[in-house]
Structure 1
């Protein structure tokens, strides 16, 4: 059984990936500093898979703790999620983002090199493309000057990995996500940000649940059909399965280059107001929302051309937007009923 480290494995995407890895008979070890999640997620993963992964609470910015972990754990690969991830917050706190997102990555790669671990999957982002010149966005689109420090940490991260692959012989895949949403069908894991949500869907569900007074729609003057920004919203379970496909590609040595990157999305763009309308339709809940000013760092539209991932990873998004939004709402209801 191959042993895989998942950093940030108790977070929204990380926890879903852990479930899919365990379902595919990988042994999983999790590192998480619990800065944006809680340890109960570990029990909830066990409820779904009947396996409780090993867990270490480690801040990856502390180099000596990273070194100690690798000394004591034999691994076949690393999937790296642990990072700060809010565009708006990164504009306000750029140095925090550079420290957290870059230092942790460097320390991980250093220990992989020392310990002869050569399979690495990086949680990247469509933010590396900025406002692309053409839609849908293919992997041939140029990486543009980042619109936010968060986006820049993903660009720099990919560059660090690419340089490391050349120098140390790693095999790495960067998965450039579009917008992950939804929750596991069991409602045992989902998106539960601590404090005020920075992402659209948890803000939608918390507004519908009465936790937030109203949803702010950032800008209605974009050059789109309804004036609101367009994104490619992908069900988190589909996204999680892409990681398993990418990992199997590396382990079977099917990669065509030692650094590869793939767009992971649905190939369909949806505006913020379309999200609101679809959510209202599938849940029967009316959303209280208001239009406010645009947010710094936001772009007009981004949606993926997923042809490369479909062919090379033998992977395709299968869940509908309606299913993703309904799963997010069921997850939210379960959280609200707990309180």
Structure 2
């Protein structure tokens, strides 16, 4: 019997790619999304990619307890993958209360609804921002957590709440996945990242410049203590990340308890490294200017992903060039998104 998995934020960037990986692995995704930064049109694309019926999709907010109770009552849900939330560092600095409301309160409402329904398998979309500025890289899971912005603090608060929940009640199977910098798109070019409004992340901004929607890329900081002065991050292909969620789900279904893992490549790439790889992918130059640093950003970090390999048998397989090639295929084929 197929296990149905509730995917909150499942129409979003990482959620939609994870729905593909779930379907290909024999699970049945059920999507809950308020479409605040996504589109219901993704469902038809998912059906084309998987060759299966489009996932059941419910429009709604994870903070709506009554809706969650109805979902758990009406569907045989065996597990939850929780993506729903806000994710822009700069916006979190400007409007912290909305991040605590969406990310923390929403996660608590979800966990309470799961407990009432007797569903105790939960994969949580956390972030490497919980580490803040690390003492060194690569960063292991036991590194100090000292997030430098409200977004990272909201993720750490949820991790701590879920950890306390898992330790206080038997039967919970919780995986906290700290991922680094998801980029790329499905190789079909049918789904990818399409933020509403001005992008907050590097890759969609580079893509929009390359396709002619924006005049140039602003590089936020050129004076960091890094090899070329620009920020260094661990860029991981979104489909590698999606497959990591499936691996974590399989592990959680078989093992009670709490698991915290990094999902990354274990390699750092600078902003200019990404721009150069994207130029190779699209065959044209990407104009850029160096601007000031953004509040809350840290100079450099990348993952120690060895625990994910040891525990889950998972490791990132796709290169930066493939990330950029897939991003360009998506952006050039869908310049206006969905």
TM-score under structure 1 length normalisation: 0.97
Could you report, residue by residue, the CA deviation over 1:221-247 in whole angstroms, capped at 9, with x for unpaired residues?
Answer: 100111101000001000000001000
For residues 257-268 of structure 1, what are the structure 2 equivalents within 5 Å?
A: 258-268=257-267
Q: Is the 8 A contact 2:189 2:333 kept in 1?
A: yes
> Equivalent of 2:106, from 96, 104, 107?
104
Question: Where does residue 288 of structure 1 map in the other structure?
Answer: 287
Find the residue that maps to 2:58 and give its secondary structure: strand
1:15 paired with 2:13, answer no
Question: 1:62: how far off?
Answer: 2.2
Q: Is the 8 A contact 1:182 1:328 kept in 2?
A: yes
Question: 1:66: how far off?
Answer: 2.0
Could you report, residue by residue, the CA deviation over 1:265-315 in whole angstroms, capped at 9, with x for unpaired residues?
Answer: 001000111111121123211011100000001001110111100110100
In 2: Cα distance, 1:336 partner to 1:271 partner: 25
For residues 226-237 of structure 1, what are the structure 2 equivalents within 5 Å?
A: 226-237=228-239
Q: Is the 8 A contact 2:281 2:328 kept in 1?
A: no
Q: Is the 8 A contact 1:219 1:291 kept in 2?
A: yes
Find the residue that maps to 1:186 and give its secondary structure: coil
Q: Is the 8 A contact 2:69 2:117 kept in 1?
A: no
For structure 2, list consecutive stretches of 5 or more residues without a partner in the other structure. none
In 1: Cα distance, 2:148 partner to 2:194 partner: 26
Question: 1:337: how far off?
Answer: 7.7
Question: 1:115: how far off?
Answer: 1.1
In 1: Cα distance, 2:197 partner to 2:300 partner: 27
Question: Where does residue 47 of structure 1 map in the other structure?
Answer: 48
For structure 1, list consecutive stretches of 5 or more residues without a partner in the other structure. none
How many residue pairs are counted as aligned between the two chains?
Answer: 335
TM-score under structure 2 length normalisation: 0.97
Could you report, residue by residue, the CA deviation over 1:1-23 in whole angstroms, capped at 9, with x for unpaired residues?
Answer: 11111000000000000000000
For residues 240-251 of structure 1, what are the structure 2 equivalents within 5 Å?
A: 240-251=242-253
Aligned Cα root-mean-square deviation (Å): 1.2
In 1: Cα distance, 2:51 partner to 2:329 partner: 22
In 2: Cα distance, 1:266 partner to 1:166 partner: 30
Question: 1:74: how far off?
Answer: 2.2
Find the residue that maps to 2:77 and give its secondary structure: coil
In 2: Cα distance, 1:226 partner to 1:300 partner: 11
For residues 87-166 of structure 1, what are the structure 2 equivalents within 5 Å?
A: 87-144=89-146, 146-166=147-167
Find the residue that maps to 1:55 and give its secondary structure: strand
